[in-house]
Amino acid sequence: MFCMLLRKHCENGVIETVEQVGMERVIRMQIRHRDELGDMSTKHIIVEIMGRHSNIILLDPETETILDGIHHVTPAISSYRIVMPGSKYVTPPEQDKQDPLQIDSVAFQRLFEPSVTEEPQPEEQPEQRLVAAFSGLSPLIAKEIVFRSRQVGNSESITAAEALWNAFDGIMTAVRQHSYEPVIVEQAGTGKNVFCHDTFDPYRWDFYGLLHSKCLFRAFLWG
């Protein structure tokens, strides 16, 4: 079993680093431990949070060779990316999206300007364009950005694109500064529970008002 393999390679080890790969939902943990001969060794645990394609993979960082994974992906399932013991680790396919933490106001607003060279497309909602353009942006947070922009976007002194940028930049600035207010909220009408790093607007959500450690406790309790 995978847990027994982790115990074999990582028991009594020290987690030296935990890194997110860009803005993707991929985490790489570096574990330093002693092998069977007592020599210092390093292993990496890759956590890929991708819905039904989620996986946890243990690999040797020197050769990028997979030792094992919770879910095996054979050549019959995917010719691009095989997750089997002895295979080379291949990162998930690039989505060619922009980093939301690096973009400036001019480039952001340009994304929402129609191009005269493009064929007319069915009208997309702003939240759909945000998700399509930026990595690491969920449909939920994209809807929140659009909602916040519309609260101040009715003024004649500001355009819809500028209002959207202000809302977008406000959230991204908080992320860059690691200024988080984690909450669990319940969506009105559906009862769906949602976890987010930032506070949602109370006019659209029924709050539980759970912050920080209490929020995490409730997440584990419900999970």
Half-sphere exposure of 71 (CA within 13 A, CB side): 15
| 154 pLDDT higher than 60 | no
| 86 pLDDT higher than 60 | yes
pLDDT of amino acid 189: 72
Contacting residues for 71 by C-beta, under 8 A, at least 6 apart? 54, 55, 83
**Average pLDDT estimate for 173-177:** 88
Contact 149, 170 (CB under 8 A): no
3 state DSSP class of 102: coil
Which is more confidently placed, 50 or 67?
67
Q: How many CB atoms lie within 10 A of CB 57?
A: 21
Rounded to 10 degrees, the C-alpha dihedral 122/127/128/129 comes to 80
Contacting residues for 129 by C-beta, under 8 A, at least 6 apart? 111, 112
pLDDT of amino acid 23: 82
**Average pLDDT estimate for 198-209:** 53
Least confident of 45-54, 140-149, 153-162: 153-162
Q: What is the radius of gyration, based on Cα positions, of the chain? A: 21
pLDDT band at 111, cuts 50/70/90? confident
Which is more confidently placed, 222 or 190?
190
| 218 pLDDT higher than 80 | no
| 215 pLDDT higher than 90 | no
**Average pLDDT estimate for 191-220:** 56
| This prediction's pTM | 0.69
pLDDT of amino acid 203: 46
User: What would the two tokens of residue 18 be?
Assistant: 């935990």
pLDDT band at 223, cuts 50/70/90? very low
In percent, the amount of the chain with pLDDT more than 70 equals 79
Q: How many CB atoms lie within 10 A of CB 130?
A: 24
